[in-house]
Structure 1
């Protein structure tokens, strides 16, 4: 292989592309090709190498002290910088398939680290930052202002700011000078409120009030605000969730600096979120909703193609799904019945983590003293309507049309007691697990809040929690990717990585009586409670983001090919960096399983 070929090979491997031409030449000058047969020990605690390895062909396994495979290395993978930098290694690196590799001399490698800061930063970063660097490299071609735009990057309208005691007529005059229909009111306690044209019509014109009244008499407090250094996408999510058209923008000191309008955000993003939201809001029947919900996939495709983080996508789609449920509830259920019941979603819908429509998980709580039977025909209509809108029926029949999931408040309390008392029936644990993620979408939401508080008050048993958490380790998480290569090439990403994180975090959250349902938010709360160390929490969030992103990408590909949705990912279809990210994620998941095993004493139950 010529020097040019060697340089070309290295430049494809991160972070060697950051080397200057002279540094690359020095690297190649101190690099040789080596061959090692199967089972050769390359690195061990008692055998620190004199080389940095880059695989051309073959594979190497990294073993822990317990002789467990923790990582596998294949073509274009590199190892082990830590051994060279720190002069020690706790693990053993062994050739799994006969190896042809480049070896860079230790002195040359350490010299490159000292001469090139970017090169050095990559090898000295912690795991989370390394993953982030790989992600940035993988999605550089997809990144746009859409993903990284901050509020300050778009149009912020100058605030027409008045004191709460300002006469309304003077405030209107000032707003005309500012050429705005929005008046921001500041109270004596530094709280902000808002007056809009529609508010003037309702509270002044229709009521015949005098324009000399102080603005505090009609202003709405508090005004929702967002900071200028927040992501623009977060502002869009707030507008969709709260069904409002503008938010105030503050600086880091909490001072009002302007107003952000929905129309300006949408023009920046250029997607059809507002159009879909309007279609849902104005739908007169289920057919109208069908027209709105079929556009969801276009939004998902657009956001995913532009590199938007998956938790932002799921949050936005979750808000739209909630609006669909609310509209169906109002269209189907007579108004007099709506106030006496609570419609809720569970599972991935309840966690706000279902992006592509997979299945329904929903239920209905009816107030005690109200006849549940009168609700049943309408619940069947809700299930049928959701199917019509593209939400597949649940294989386990966890739907409002099933009487088990549509009953009175007291009956649900009895069911909860049954779930907690019968640890021999795994179905009880499964039902409880999805109910823990329940989120109210329509009706009297206090019914669900009170039920979940009742559940929380009844969980006292460590043995029960151990059995509940045990399913975290139910499915195998691969320690190597190469074991799937050349065979069926398929890995069930949900069983291998997504479910263990979800269930493990759900178990910790249930024990700590955390009310939040979204996995990432639960992780952050557990970190705040010192249940998870900061680094562990960050690793879990990164791994969860990676595996969900890979699953979404796969599911969208299947949808576009008119194939059934699946959680199985073809390893052969992944790029080099995607495989690296997946390997790092599996490592994090396996470490988390060990953490859950320890925290819940899973080894002591059978």
Structure 2
């Protein structure tokens, strides 16, 4: 490599893009190239390291005795931690023939002392690196909001009436169509616009007759914008002409709607408050469905603006709860409303479902409820079908209120829980896990609280129950291996270069924390809240709890980022990510997150004595 190519190579590896020009020159001049055969020990354990290695080619394994802890590949560095401590705890051995640049320790430490950004990075804990990377990535994604299109915002329906329509009739149309603006067209094709405020300010204050033509209070000089134009161009047009709204057309020149200043502002402010109000005010299923469609836009906007993944999930969970509560109240027979508890389970119950997957819900009915079986069956069927129409797919495992197994009296649920505990099986353990995550979204919350108290009571004396409940994590392997540091999916041709981030990381963490929380009678359903509760009980050290939270958030944010990209390409969302599409820092932090999950797994194996069940 030429000196210029070396500098470009160095700058491509995070966090060395923060080097000054002089520091970059110093490193490039100090570089030396070394070659290692396969099986060579590059750095021995219990030694004082002399170099920071930049990998040009090959694979390097970090090993503790015979156990491989991590794998480093092309465009990665190792081992900064050993250099800073001046002690190498583990050994580094080539898994393939490898070529590296070496940077002397003295120069590396000297530059660290001079460059605050590098020093901050290399002295951070894993949890701090994970957190700062999420913020770093969100700041980069802020640019995405600048390429949002007009059609991405809420465009009000365009209703056009004849300009000779009376003021009374025009006001009636505005109310009936539930729109803030009405378009008028005269016999010559001239277009006008009239708003709800025109009626207040011009008609009422001037005491105009309701029978006069509405064109008398309308405005001319409409400004048009294409639905595929950039949203910030619409903002510029409004500012340029001092307007509060523009008329939106498609490529054929047909008017498709009206974009107003409120919708524009709402888009850049994520539109959360407006959608929440829309749900509260909804009087029909169609109005409620329209509000639910906005959820994806909100998620994309929040993600682009740098909002942390845990806050996005909390916000979307609150909107989902409002939506389901309103839907239940609109649809449920009167006999059920005060005699039932609608619950959501699984990731939705844990407030961790961001993009909609399948339905996981159930209905607990008071023992003294008098609703007939036929009426209940009709309602639960319609409720499930309406959710499907809203974009919540049917649960493949049929865990829905329309399944009588998940719709029963409270005393019947107690019998069911007793059976799950005392007749252990794979399905029963799965049902316990799902039910333990249950969250009330409508109705009497005390019903689910009483059932969880009963669950804690009858399972409390059985250590073997908790061990068997936790044991499922041994069926899942953390995908850290020898090929580029990751074990890829080899069974499915569609995902051969990908890893299942849920099976290999998120599920192990969620189930492990769930098992500890169930054993310790924690009522919280959210994984992060459970981790914090376990820390308060003394089951985790502070740094361990912090690492678990940040690893969970990082894995979840990678999954969200991947699925948002798939949505943009009209692809099916799933749990797979391609590590080769990640930058060097993301790959490094993904490995760190998997290491944290692995440590939790080993802790659980010891705690629950999983090797003996």
- TM-score (norm. length: structure 2): 0.75
**What is the CA–CA distance in structure 1 between the aligned matches of 2:86 and 2:11, rounded to whole Å?**
27
Aligned residues of 2:502 and 2:575 also touching (Cα < 8 A): yes
Matched length? 487
Mapping of residues 105-116 of structure 1, within 5 Å = 105-116=104-115
Deviations for 1:121-173, whole angstroms, at most 9, x for unmatched residues?
322222212333443444432359x9xxxxxxxxxxxxxxxxxxxxxxxxxxx
Deviation at 1:498, TM superposition (A): 0.8
Equivalent position of 1:587 in the other structure: 595
Equivalent position of 1:64 in the other structure: 64
**What is the CA–CA distance in structure 2 between the aligned matches of 1:55 and 1:467, rounded to whole Å?**
44
Equivalent position of 2:527 in the other structure: 519
Mapping of residues 388-399 of structure 1, within 5 Å = 388-399=389-400
Aligned residues of 2:134 and 2:308 also touching (Cα < 8 A): no
Q: 1:490 to 1:409 in 2, by over 3 A?
A: same
Equivalent position of 1:408 in the other structure: 409
Matched, 1:94 2:98: no
Equivalent position of 1:429 in the other structure: 429
Equivalent position of 1:541 in the other structure: 549
Equivalent position of 1:213 in the other structure: none
Q: Secondary structure at the match of 1:141?
A: helix
Equivalent position of 1:502 in the other structure: 510
**What is the CA–CA distance in structure 1 between the aligned matches of 2:384 and 2:267, rounded to whole Å?**
37
**What is the CA–CA distance in structure 2 between the aligned matches of 1:383 and 1:550, rounded to whole Å?**
30
**What is the CA–CA distance in structure 2 between the aligned matches of 1:567 and 1:358, rounded to whole Å?**
11
Deviation at 1:417, TM superposition (A): 0.7
- TM-score (norm. length: structure 1): 0.76
Deviation at 1:486, TM superposition (A): 11
Q: Secondary structure at the match of 2:118?
A: helix
Deviation at 1:502, TM superposition (A): 0.7
Deviation at 1:11, TM superposition (A): 2.0
Equivalent position of 1:419 in the other structure: 420
**What is the CA–CA distance in structure 1 between the aligned matches of 2:266 and 2:357, rounded to whole Å?**
31
Q: Which moved more, 1:581-590 or 1:105-114?
A: 105-114
Matched, 1:387 2:395: no
Deviation at 1:389, TM superposition (A): 0.6
**What is the CA–CA distance in structure 1 between the aligned matches of 2:502 and 2:458, rounded to whole Å?**
30
Structure 2 unaligned runs (5+)?
Answer: 146-261, 491-495
Deviation at 1:115, TM superposition (A): 3.3
Mapping of residues 460-471 of structure 1, within 5 Å = 460=460, 461-471=462-472
**What is the CA–CA distance in structure 1 between the aligned matches of 2:118 and 2:610, rounded to whole Å?**
42
Mapping of residues 444-463 of structure 1, within 5 Å = 444-460=444-460, 461-463=462-464
Equivalent position of 2:158 in the other structure: none
Deviation at 1:497, TM superposition (A): 0.8
Deviations for 1:498-555, whole angstroms, at most 9, x for unmatched residues?
1011101111111111111111111111111111111111111111111111111121
**What is the CA–CA distance in structure 2 between the aligned matches of 1:55 and 1:309, rounded to whole Å?**
32
Q: Secondary structure at the match of 1:140?
A: helix
Deviations for 1:315-356, whole angstroms, at most 9, x for unmatched residues?
111111111111111111122321011111100110011111
Deviation at 1:457, TM superposition (A): 1.6
Q: Which moved more, 1:34-43 or 1:353-362?
A: 34-43
Matched, 1:52 2:52: yes
**What is the CA–CA distance in structure 2 between the aligned matches of 1:485 and 1:506, rounded to whole Å?**
27
Equivalent position of 2:356 in the other structure: 357
Q: 1:571 to 1:404 in 2, by over 3 A?
A: same
**What is the CA–CA distance in structure 1 between the aligned matches of 2:387 and 2:102, rounded to whole Å?**
59
Greater than 4 Å deviation, 4+ residue runs: 266-269, 483-487
Q: 1:597 to 1:370 in 2, by over 3 A?
A: same
**What is the CA–CA distance in structure 2 between the aligned matches of 1:343 and 1:123, rounded to whole Å?**
49
Q: 1:528 to 1:293 in 2, by over 3 A?
A: same
Q: Secondary structure at the match of 1:527?
A: helix
Aligned residues of 2:129 and 2:589 also touching (Cα < 8 A): no
Aligned residues of 1:56 and 1:102 also touching (Cα < 8 A): yes
Aligned residues of 1:138 and 1:578 also touching (Cα < 8 A): no
Equivalent position of 1:578 in the other structure: 586
**What is the CA–CA distance in structure 2 between the aligned matches of 1:496 and 1:446, rounded to whole Å?**
36
Deviation at 1:49, TM superposition (A): 3.2
**What is the CA–CA distance in structure 2 between the aligned matches of 1:85 and 1:349, rounded to whole Å?**
43
Over the aligned positions, Cα root-mean-square deviation in angstroms equals 2.4
